[in-house]
Amino acid sequence: MNSTETIKTEILAIGCAMLDKGLVAGTWGNISARIPETSFVAITPSGRGYRELTANDVVVVDLTGKVMEGNLKPSSELPLHLAIYRARPDIQGIVHTHSVFASACAVARKIIPPIIEDLVQLVGGGVEVADYALPGTETLAKNIVVALGERNAVLMANHGVVGCGQSLVEGMMACELVEKAAQIYIYANQIGGAQLLSKEDVAIMHEFYVDYYRKRQQGSEN
Ligand SMILES: [Zn+2]
């Protein structure tokens, strides 16, 4: 399997995992990844059921959005995926979900502060809320890039979550950790309020993830 086929297969697996984990319903959400050693991106097509997708349905585009491969229309959120890839050379995979607790924070337009170890390790801090804009617009893409900064996840006001990382698996993990942290944050607020981690400890935990734990997960620790 060449790298394009490998990436397409990974996208299909993440699509089914998003459904299995209850992070999206139906055909909502979208997934993309850079194709290694090219300047192309593979992305889910618009409005197709994840369980029915085949590798041929995954669309390949360049960083301007021009379709290079595939007969279907790319996801309507293509602008936000491309904006993140253009702004963040380190990002290899992006997953967009509509999970319940994270969306509750996004609807209330409340950031999820740095409150729990796994979230701050992978995401690099709390999770900001990008300013509202209509789905699929360049304005939404711009707002997301600003709110994402150098971290690996962001909430979209009245919409959902974007998780990203150095692999598709890491992007998916970011979405799962944001959902888990949102649930913990909402529950903690019902029993007296969340206590935040210090900036210094967040930095230590994120550095540990970047320098050691990520490598261990990727099997490249030495
Ligand atoms: Zn969406």
Q: Identify any residues that bridge with 42 across adjacent strands, giving them in sequence order.
A: 33, 60
pTM of the model: 0.96
- pLDDT tens track for 12-23: 999 999 999 999
Distance 209 CA to ligand 1 centre (A): 28
Distance of CA 189 to the CA centre of its chain: 25
Mean pLDDT of the chain, nearest integer: 96
132 vs 208: CA distance, rounded Å: 33
Distance 83 CA to ligand 1 centre (A): 15
CA of 114 to the centre of ligand 1 (A): 24
The pLDDT score that the predictor gives to residue 221 is: 54
77 classed as catalytic: yes
The active-site residue, picked from 5, 37, 77, 117, is: 77
Q: List, for residues 185-210, the tens digit of each pLDDT value.
A: 999 999 999 999 999 999 999 999 99
For residue 96, report the distance from its CA to the centre of ligand 1, in Å.
Answer: 6
Q: Could you report the per-residue pLDDT of 30-66, keeping only the tens digit for each? A: 999 999 999 999 999 999 999 999 999 999 999 999 9
3-state secondary structure 39-102: CEEEECECCCCHHHCCHHHCEEEECCCCEEECCCCECCCHHHHHHHHHHCCCCCEEEEECCHHH
Separation of CA 104 and ligand 1 centre (Å): 14
Q: Which residue has the tokens 């602008």?
A: 79
113 Cα: distance to centroid of ligand 1 (angstroms)? 22
Distance 155 CA to ligand 1 centre (A): 11
Q: At 80, list the tokens.
A: 């936000």
